[in-house]
Amino acid sequence: MEKIICISDTHNRHKHLTSKAMGDRLPEGDLLIHAGDFSGQGQKGEVQDFLKWLKEVSSKYTNGIVFIAGNHDKSFDPKFNDEISKPEWLQDELAALPSSIIYLENNYTIIDGIKIWGSPVTPWFHGDRWAFNKQRGFDINDTWNQIPTDTDIIVTHGPIHGKLDFVLHDSHYAGCEELRYKIKSVKPKLHVCGHIHEGYGYDYDDDTIYVNASVCTGRYEPNNHPITIKNWEYESR
């Protein structure tokens, strides 16, 4: 797989990426990854519009599209429905997606020999009004311990602690410490996230490229460009 396009946190502004008036900013490639928060509150109309857009852009990607939910995409979290399952309309929408568009939720897929594991889970934040929040420590480790040791790409909504996770308004690093330890152990080629809009950009260490692909800025303006990884290296625009 040569060219991976990464986006996240489009917050209902996904069409800005493909608007002719604004210039089509969504590159073609082998794979598109969206790391969650595609909606404002996960309402039915928002989700349907996003999934329709994914179908429209899918022809740009020879190996398809992988996406996860984020803390804003509440309809994907059963606690906002009946505590057991997603709403029936959402189950129907996901079931109707073509095989080239894959939703991941604490599981993995293999595309062109590349194992991709994805999760919407983020550390607890401001009570129960957000989706897929787990307490730091043992609770959130229940999720990260599901990551296979041979994973090539990890997609999580939130960043690890200390990389691409600095929150400007209260000056702290908001990423997940437990996820950092897990990624250091697994050593994936690529970690894609969003969630912390101010953390947009990329970083790397000896084993992994880290991408925060938030399209929206801290002011929820869709000004950030998709990030391209080509041959397992960051490709500048």
pLDDT tens digits, 5-51: 999 999 999 999 999 877 889 999 999 999 999 999 999 999 999 99
Please say if the pLDDT value at position 128 is more than 70.
yes
What pLDDT is recorded for position 24?
87
Please say if the pLDDT value at position 127 is more than 70.
no
- The answer as to CATH 3.10.620.30 being correct for domain 3-235 is no
What pLDDT is recorded for position 158?
98
Alpha-carbon distance 230 to 179, whole Å? 25
The domain ranges of the chain are 3-235
What pLDDT is recorded for position 204?
97
What pLDDT is recorded for position 37?
98
pLDDT in tens, 159-171: 999 999 999 877 7
Between 155 and 82, the higher pLDDT residue: 155
Alpha-carbon distance 161 to 143, whole Å? 16
Alpha-carbon distance 139 to 234, whole Å? 33
Give the pairing of strands 114-119 and 107-111: antiparallel
Tokens of 164: 């691409």
The mean predicted confidence, pLDDT, of the chain is: 95
| Farthest-apart Cα atoms in the chain, separation | 48
Alpha-carbon distance 143 to 146, whole Å? 6
In 3D space, the residue among 122, 126, 190, 192 whose CA is nearest the CA of residue 158 turns out to be: 122
Alpha-carbon distance 105 to 124, whole Å? 17
The percent of residues in the chain predicted with pLDDT above 90, rounded, is: 90
Q: How confident is the model at residue 152 (pLDDT cuts 50, 70, 90)?
A: very high
Please say if the pLDDT value at position 229 is more than 90.
yes
Please say if the pLDDT value at position 125 is more than 90.
no
What pLDDT is recorded for position 126?
67
Mean pLDDT of 98-117: 98
What is the Cα 107 distance to its own chain's centre? 13
